[in-house]
Structure 1
Amino acid sequence: MAQNENLAELSRAGVAVWLDDLSRDRIRSGNLQSLVDEHSVVGVTTNPTIFAAAISGSESYDDQLHALAVRQVSVEEALRTITAADVRDACDLLAPVAQRQPGDGRVSLEVAPGLANDTDATAAEAAHLWWLVDRPNLYIKIPATEAGLPAITTSISRGISVNVTLIFSLDRYRAVMDAYLSGLEQRLAENPEAELSGLDSVASFFVSRVDSEIDKRLDAAGADAQLKGKAGVANAQLAYQAYEEVFSSDRWRALEAKGARPQRPLWASTGVKNPDYSDTLYISELIAPGTVNTMPEKTLMAYADHGRPATPVQKSYDDAAAVLQAVRDAGIDLDDVFRVLEDEGVQKFVDSWDELTESVRTELEDKK
């Protein structure tokens, strides 16, 4: 089938189009397949909020919930079983994409967010989910907290492909890239013949949440309104500059020679939260080769309808640096912004996970 031209153009520019949503209904109805066939979608990301909405809003889970209730499984086991089933089916649907486009055709499944500050528990949960889904085109999502960084290294060293999530600052992003390279190096140190070519990673750099927090602070400071809606894109553009530096280094070239693939930047939180901004802002301004943009369906369809590319990221570095300096000059403490965003990001996913857990608990009781 013919692909939407706007999204096809995005793909030709080197941006992998992923969908930030998944549900059993989306898979069974053929909707996900149609997005692959007609809207250039080559990957899927999930999170606890997405699964909470999917399970609570559909009857497609009733039979499985009944079977789990009859077996009297724990809520935690039921949660893993249900989400793993959806992710496994989506992996199977996207397997042809993965075969023709290494690194794409992937589906992400997140470790329980309550483990974000526990390195060993995060690594153990990542290994369990990798085993449970049992598909080579899976990504395990691990948050880029300080405790998450060594869990990323451990998981990569074990041959587990990782989507690193909740990255907000350039410093933390550099630490994430280091964790990935360290994992590859550790894997080779343990077994010089270890396979690297099938191992993959993306680094999910959040965009719109940065603008939401900084815009709020700019308003409070009485700063120039022209700065609003600029920092999220500028921050991401400079992240791509850091990516280019790291993945052209001698350290990287040595791993690449062993078959390693670069850890691609993934633009996340790309749904526009301020209605005053273009609804395709975080796509048009972040076009660069070797990147991923994961979009809510509403944003995906907006770009399909009227999206247009803006200035390429590589030509925006000086302007991006100037924007962040102007934000600092307005009295905004960016380090504090990023700390707050990380803490809030973890807490939001914990809250969604708790909501999901309670929803499944209720469903299990009802299905007995």
Structure 2
Amino acid sequence: MTNPLADLSAAGVSIWLDDLSRQRIMSGNLASLIDEKHVVGVTSNPSIFQAALADADHYAEQLDDLAGRGASVEDAVREITTDDVRHACDIFRGVYSSTDQKDGLVSLEVDPRSAHDTEKTVVEALDLWKTVDRPNLMIKIPATPEGLPAITRVLAEGVSVNVTLIFSVERYRAVIDAFLAGMEQARANGHDVSTIASVASFFVSRVDSEVDKRLDEIGTDAALALRGTAAIANARLAYQAWQDAFGNERWATLKGAGAKVQRPLWASTGVKNKAYPDTLYVTELAAPDTVNTMPEATLDAFADHGELHGDAVSGTADAAGEVFAALASVGIDVSDVFRVIEDEGVEKFEKAWTELLETLGEQLTRRSPEQS
């Protein structure tokens, strides 16, 4: 019998889980995914932690302790999320070692309310790194204009970075420049660059969601025929940009010093339109030296009926460019698409973080000694 996840891994795709919770850690589920589903990393975000903490039962003991100590809501969120990530790092430490530090990585995002504040992002990123205190941690920093210099400065301190909320190839090129500058500074600062990991999280399904909505509004046959084409074409153009950037002399110098390449990571790979195959953004974006971080439903779907057709990305840039030319010809302003979904991405995580604080505040109040 074939094993689609094993085949995907053998094709050079690192399979990461886009989810984390205390329940997964305590039940042994996270460890079993390593053994049974070829999962070699984990990503988290504010929405994931909001969902995890909505189930307070698995956090009851820690919540009681925090309430008894009179911890603030902000301190409680920090302690709970960093504990979960630290434990996940420990679970993946064997993978981290066996893959020569390429995988076995666990991502923790800075407060999304700092997405447009460079200084706050840098300070929090360094604080999270010290608090978790695990070599296989990655700090997630959004690729906003204000996030770009923060990425460089955090890498320069020897901290591994997962750059998140990348939607356009233009912004992706800026992310690569920020990575290269950060690694050059890290080397100049005396850090062992071979220990610094980085991925660039290029979001997929949200592109189709926004573009398809606009195509439906246009409503012509030519427009409707382009539904479901934008996200894959966009990611394939990003992969070409990655190949170009990491094939030059600037990268060769860093590689010679032991630096590891910043891999493209396909994020938001759960299919939102049920008319599309549920493994679409896995099959059509399989390529060497990439990461695909999947929600568990997508992971299970690919394990059950996923198919591979070899390297689906290399050499596809010209065809992907034709897709974008066709989108422009029917009236799609792709620059506006990327602006809208970036703004929405930041707002979504800010909202999730705010709701997380509110939920946790209610939990602490109910458990406080004054309520006894």
Superposed pair shares fold, TM > 0.5: yes
| CA positional deviation for 1:145 | 0.1
- Counting only pairs closer than 5 Å after superposition, residues 29-44 of structure 1 correspond to structure 2 as 29-44=27-42
Deviant stretches of 4+, over 6 Å: none
Letter in 2 for 1:360: L
Amino acid at match of 1:50: I
> 1:79-132, CA deviations, whole angstroms, 9 ceiling, x for partnerless residues?
000000000000000000000112210111000000000000000000000011
Match of 1:123 in 2: 122
SS of 1:140's equivalent? strand
How far did 1:57 drift?
1.6
The C-alpha deviation readout for 1:240-284, integer Å capped at 9, x for no partner, is 000000111100001101111110000000000000000000000
Q: Which residue of the partner structure matches residue 213 of structure 1?
A: 210
Matches within 5 A, 1:1-368: 5-101=3-99, 102-191=101-190, 194-223=191-220, 224=222, 225-310=224-309, 312-368=312-368
- C-alpha distance in 1 between matches for 2:360 and 2:135: 28
Identity of aligned residues (%): 57
Q: Give the Cα–Cα distance (whole angstroms) in 2 for the partners of residues 324 and 303 of structure 1.
A: 28
Partner of 1:135, secondary structure, is coil
CA contact (8 A) 1:272 1:279 kept: yes
One-letter amino acid of the counterpart of residue 364, structure 2: L
Consecutive unaligned residues of structure 1, counting only runs of 5 or more, are none
2:225 aligns to what SS in structure 1? helix
Deviations 1:44-91 (A, max 9, x none): 000111111111124110110111111111111100000000000000
SS class of match (2:288): coil
Shift of 1:187: 1.7
Stretch moving more, 224-233 or 263-272: 224-233
Q: Structure 1 counterpart of 2:20, which letter? A: L
1: distance between equivalents of 2:198 and 2:82?
19
Query: What secondary structure is seen at the aligned counterpart in 1 of 2:199?
Result: strand
**Root mean square deviation, CA, Å:** 1.1
> 2:367 and 2:340 mapped to 1: Cα distance?
40
Q: Which amino acid aligns with 2:323?
A: V
Report the CA distance between 1:4 and its aligned residue: 7.5
Q: CA deviation at 1:221?
A: 1.5
Give the TM-score of the pair, scaled to structure 1: 0.97
State the distance in 2 between where 1:197 and 1:189 align.
13
Native 8 Å contact 1:4 1:39 kept in 2: no
Distance 1:305 1:179, change over 3 A: same
Cα displacement (A) at 1:189: 2.5
Q: Give the AA of the match of 1:229.
A: G
Cα distance in 2 for partners of 1:324, 1:363 equals 48
Q: C-alpha separation between the residues in 2 aligned to 1:265 and 1:165?
A: 11
Structure 2: distance between partners of 1:75 and 1:206: 30
Whether the 8 Å contact between 1:25 and 1:58 is mirrored in structure 2 is no
Unaligned runs of 5+ in 2: none
SS at match of 2:140: strand
Larger mean Cα displacement after TM superposition, 309-318 or 146-155: 309-318
Paired with 1:81 and 1:189, the residues of 2 have a C-alpha distance of: 33
Secondary structure, aligned partner of 1:18: strand
